[in-house]
Amino acid sequence: MNDSDGALGLNINGDPGPLTLAEMDVVSATWLRAFLPMTDADGGSLVDQPPLRLVLAAAERGRGTVLSLKFPYTHRPVPVPGSEAFAREVQRVDALLPLVMDVVDILVVGNEPFLETREEDRDTGRLNAFYEALARHVIGYRDMRFGPACRTRLYMGALNHLDRPGGRSAATDRWMTFTRDTPALDGVDIHPHLSAPEDDRHYLDYILPRLRPDQTFLVTEFSLVQFWKRHLSDRLAARYADRHGIPRTTLVWEEIKSALDRPFPQRRWDEFLRSNPWFSQHEDYLRQQVETFRGTGRLAVATYAAVQGAANVKDFGADSVPWLLNSLFCPFTVQRADDGELGRNTTWTDAFRALQPG
């Protein structure tokens, strides 16, 4: 397995967009993470799915890799182990495992289970039973085919909203107990998308005492996106508005929409972001957050948003969740450079590069 001791990599979720391995080199990234909806196994060859294709290409070139298995059940009941519906999920997993086991470094059973299931399935233990049975199946496959020498480590993931009322429950307690009591699991994944930087403590204070001393944690998604969202209806900074001939009454989300309609030159996108005090006062967020994770001595890998996704820019408005402000590479809001390189959020790319070893 690649050295994962506190590594910081790129996260593409389920959509790499125009991102290639070349962009990994631009920011000196040695780790890549994606999720794969397991329903994609129904549509033909899994290796043709863009996120998996890029992860496998990264693994082939010696990069560290993390793949999360996503099971979407927001509009239908979570299958009961032993049922026909559960057997179908096992078939999907079995179609994937020969492609990734002993190839990727880390396999995460679940993407965001507490967001990707119906609330009634969380409260009854049905969610837990489903994921526990899947984890045991994956563990059994690994042990039978590869034994203890297998390079692929297994984690459960990921927990969300541990900083909110109701985010911790009997179901999340059971999730952590299963993780701790299963020797084959290396730990748990968390996704702290925060309303304030200090809210990360709610995640760490919850998971660390509930892990075995030999276990570690992943942070395959993290950001201040909920904090950014609170400022979408702020007015633009007067100096920025005057400089670009924009009415001072223009709101932040309207300027972002302008960039989406007609991407800005790199210099203007940089200027726009840094002209907003809610952004400029938190320019050090990425460094501080990663150092906090690393400071626990228990971080395996953290991965940060690589590229703006098409699904997150569609119909952008005042009530949108501004995921696009998290991304290192900005194909939707920034023009490509003359040499063809993707536009970027230079605040994050500079910080990301500085956090790489050496």
Q: Tell me the per-residue pLDDT of 320-342, one tens digit each, with 9 for 90 and over.
A: 999 999 999 999 999 999 999 99
Which letter does DSSP use for residue 68 in this model? E
Which letter does DSSP use for residue 166 in this model? T
Residue 26 has what pLDDT? Answer: 95
Residue 3 has what pLDDT? Answer: 67
Q: Is residue 260 part of a domain?
A: no
Task: Write the CB contacts of 342 (distance below 8 Å, at least 6 apart in sequence).
Answer: 18, 19, 23, 307, 329, 330, 331, 334, 336
Residue 2 has what pLDDT? Answer: 66
User: Are 65 and 105 in contact, with CB atoms under 8 Å apart?
Assistant: yes
Q: Is residue 252 part of a domain?
A: no
Q: What's the token pair of residue 187?
A: 């730990």
Q: Which of 49, 51, 50 is nearest to 66 (CA)?
A: 51
Q: What's the token pair of residue 282?
A: 């938190």
Task: Write the CB contacts of 92 (distance below 8 Å, at least 6 apart in sequence).
Answer: 38, 39, 41, 42
Sheet strands (E) in the chain? 7-11, 31-37, 64-70, 106-109, 153-159, 187-190, 216-219, 299-305
User: Are 120 and 72 in contact, with CB atoms under 8 Å apart?
Assistant: no
Which residues form the domain of 83?
7-228+283-310+340-354
CATH number of 113's domain: 3.20.20.80
Q: Is residue 67 part of a domain?
A: yes
User: Are 28 and 6 in contact, with CB atoms under 8 Å apart?
Assistant: no
Q: What is the pLDDT tens value at each position of the chain, 358 positions in all?
A: 566 789 999 999 999 999 999 999 999 999 999 999 999 999 778 999 999 999 999 999 999 999 999 999 999 999 999 999 999 999 999 999 999 999 999 999 999 999 999 999 998 899 999 999 999 999 999 999 999 999 999 999 999 999 998 899 999 999 999 999 999 999 999 999 999 999 999 999 999 999 999 999 999 999 999 999 999 999 999 999 999 999 999 999 999 999 999 999 999 999 999 999 999 999 999 999 999 999 999 999 999 999 999 999 999 999 999 999 999 999 999 999 999 999 999 999 999 999 999 7
Which amino acid, residue 317? G
Q: Is residue 263 part of a domain?
A: no
Which letter does DSSP use for residue 75 in this model? S
> Terminus-to-terminus CA distance in the chain, angstroms?
20
Q: Is residue 249 part of a domain?
A: no
Residue 10 has what pLDDT? Answer: 98
Q: Which long-range contacts (CB under 8 A, 24 or more apart) does 90-98 make?
A: 90/134, 90/137, 91/41, 92/38, 92/39, 92/41, 92/42, 93/38, 93/41, 93/69, 93/134, 93/137, 93/138, 94/141, 95/41, 95/46, 96/36, 96/38, 96/41, 96/46, 96/69, 97/138, 97/141
Q: Is residue 244 part of a domain?
A: no
- The total domain count for the chain is 1
Q: What's the token pair of residue 134?
A: 């899947």
Tens of pLDDT along 59-86? 999 999 999 999 999 999 999 999 999 9
In DSSP notation, 203-233 reads: HHHHHGGGS-TT-EEEES--B-HHHHHTTTT
Q: Is residue 199 part of a domain?
A: yes
